[in-house]
Amino acid sequence: MNSPDRVPPGAVVVPFVKGHGTENDFLVVDDPGGTTELGPDLISAMCDRHAGVGADGVLAVVRTGDRWFMDYRNADGSPAETCGNGIRVFARYLADSGHVDANGRLEVDTRDGVKQVTYCPDGEISVDMGVVEAADEVRIALRDLKTSATRVDSGNPHAVAFVADLASVDLSVAPMFDPADFPDGVNVELVVRRGPHHVQMRVHERGVGETRSCGTGACAVAAALHAGDASPLPAEYLVDVPGGRLTVTLDEAGHAHLKGPAALTVTGTYFG
């Protein structure tokens, strides 16, 4: 990589911090004034795991009024309503960079509205993702699987399918679905039960592919589980993902509280 004083004329220079939440990884771009032009081509190049830095998406840190706005883009450059793992990484960055005090609570603005963030005593971060409700059954198809799935809106559109075995399913290709069911695309979670309130999950995220974790997906899974078992609220669910473990608590109002780790790992500069 070129050093900063040898960047070719006209090249795009983007400082970033890389972080992850249960190995769902993001590039954080500190841009309070919203002046950095993060177009789809640039984001795709930055997120490329072979020719770029590599990430599941980009989190731009933008100041809007009296709140911080998380401008989240998937790895293909498409905008997303919100991101549960991304909000925790975003909050970790705000605290570690000195933008906020990591005590108590923080409000983060997203395309899905304002989310309440809590810095927990155990070092993890909890996010109130709002009301998450399971809806009707739809059909999805993967390369080697056709099944029914529960449609859930957890800020992003999800289809949750309970299967007998996770290892045998190929998630390397995008799922097929009826565009009338999901006009803006869909994230698909495949789930196996490990206990009454304990599941294991794999996910294919729209605009990215299979990822190591999905926070809004974990919330969608918890909502689908609750719709099936009708447990009294509040109810806590453990969701194991390839990158670790997330805890989702559904409160009496139907809000999903997503709790898990968030870490910053690399600081650098991208030269495009």
Tens digit of each residue's pLDDT, the chain (272 residues): 445 567 777 788 999 999 999 999 999 999 999 999 999 999 999 999 999 999 999 999 999 999 999 999 999 999 999 999 999 999 999 999 999 988 878 999 999 999 999 999 999 999 999 999 899 999 999 988 999 999 999 999 999 999 999 999 999 889 999 999 999 999 999 999 999 899 999 999 999 999 999 999 999 999 999 999 888 999 999 999 999 999 999 999 999 999 999 999 999 999 98
Q: What are the beta bridge partners of residue 141?
A: 146, 176
214 part of the active site: yes
83 part of the active site: yes
Cα-Cα end-to-end distance for the chain: 11
Model pTM score: 0.94
| Residue of 47, 83, 120, 219 marked catalytic | 83
Are β-strands 125-131 and 255-260 bridged in parallel, bridged antiparallel, or unpaired? Answer: antiparallel
State how far the Cα of 213 lies from the Cα of 20, in Å rounded to an integer.
Answer: 10
The distance of Cα 24 from the centroid of its chain, to the nearest Å, equals 7
As given in the structure block, the two tokens for residue 161 are 């399918």
Q: Do 122 and 252 form a contact (C-beta atoms < 8 A)?
A: no
As given in the structure block, the two tokens for residue 108 are 């983060």
As given in the structure block, the two tokens for residue 119 are 């810095």
Q: What are the beta bridge partners of residue 133?
A: 153
